[in-house]
Amino acid sequence: AAKKESKDCWRFYTEKMQIDAYEKMRLTGSLRHALERNEFSLVYQPQISATDRKLIGFEVLLRWNSPEYGNVPPMQFIPLAEQSGLINSIGMWVLRESCQFARRLSEQGGSDIRVAVNISSKQIAVDDFIVGVCNAVNAAGIDPQQLELEITESVLIQSMEDAIGKLAHLKEFGVKLSLDDFGTGFSSLTYLRQLPVETVKIDKSFIDMITSDVQGAKIIASVINMAHAINMKVVAEGVETEAQLEYLLDKDCDIIQGYIFSCPIVEAAAMKFLADHSEV
Ligand code: C2E
Ligand code: MG
Ligand code: MG
Ligand code: MG
Is the predicted pLDDT of residue 12 greater than 80, yes or no?
no
Q: From ligand 3's centre to the CA of 215, what distance in Å?
A: 21
In the chain, the N- to C-terminal Cα span, in Å, equals 42
- Regarding the beta carbon of 240 and ligand 1, being less than 6 Å apart is answered yes
Interior CA angle at 82 toward 78 and 87, to 5°? 80
Q: What is the mean pLDDT of residues 204-222?
A: 92
For the cut 70, the answer to whether the pLDDT of residue 8 exceeds it is: no
User: In terms of pLDDT, which residue wins out, 105 or 195?
Assistant: 105
Ligand 4 center to 180 CA (angstroms): 7
Residue percentage of the chain with pLDDT more than 90: 79
Looking at the DSSP bridge assignments, the partners of residue 176 are 148
Rg (CA), the chain: 18
Q: Is the CB of 94 under 6 A from ligand 1?
A: yes
Confidence of residue 18 (pLDDT cuts 50, 70, 90): low
pLDDT tens digits along 150-190: 999 888 877 788 899 999 999 999 999 999 999 888 778 77
Is residue 7 predicted with pLDDT exceeding 50?
no
Q: How much is the ipTM here? A: 0.98
Spell out the alpha helix ranges (H) of 153-237.
155-158, 160-173, 189-192, 204-207, 214-229
- Mean pLDDT, rounded, for 242-270: 98
Half-sphere exposure (Cβ direction) of 95: Cα atoms closer than 13 Å:
26
Report the range of poorest mean pLDDT among 18-32, 40-54, 74-88, 106-120.
18-32
pLDDT band at 11 (very low <50, low <70, confident <90, very high): low
**Ligand 1 pocket: which of 8, 61, 80 to mutate (most atoms <8 Å of CB)?**
61
Q: Helix, strand, or coil here: 151?
A: strand
Q: Write down the H helix ranges in 17-174.
A: 21-34, 74-84, 87-107, 121-125, 129-140, 155-158, 160-173
Q: Atom 23 of ligand 1 has which residue's CA nearest to it? A: 238
8 Å CB contact between 55 and 47 = yes
**Contact (CB, 8 A) for 114 and 176:** yes
Spell out the residues 6+ positions from residue 40 whose beta carbon is closer than 8 angstroms to its own. 34, 62, 63, 64, 65, 90, 93, 94
Q: Answer yes or no: are the C-beta atoms of 32 and 86 closer than 8 Å.
A: yes
Q: 47-93, pLDDT tens digit by residue?
A: 999 999 999 999 999 999 999 999 999 999 999 999 999 999 999 99
Q: How far is the CA of 201 from the centre of ligand 3 (A)?
A: 6
Q: Are 28 and 77 in contact (CB under 8 A)?
A: no
pLDDT in tens, 119-138: 999 999 999 999 999 999 99
pLDDT at 52: 92
Distances, alpha carbon 202 to alpha carbons 71, 83, 115, 253, 273, in Å: 27, 26, 18, 10, 24
Ligand 1 contact, 148 CB (< 6 A):
no
By CB neighbour count within 10 A (0-12 exposed, 13-18 middle, 19+ buried), where does 45 fall? Answer: buried
Which pLDDT belongs to residue 6? 45
Tell me what pLDDT residue 13 has.
46
CA of 280 to the centre of ligand 2 (A): 30
Residue 15 has pLDDT above 80, yes or no: no
Cα 280 to ligand 1 centre (Å): 31
**pLDDT number for residue 5:** 43
- Report the SS3 class of residue 34: helix
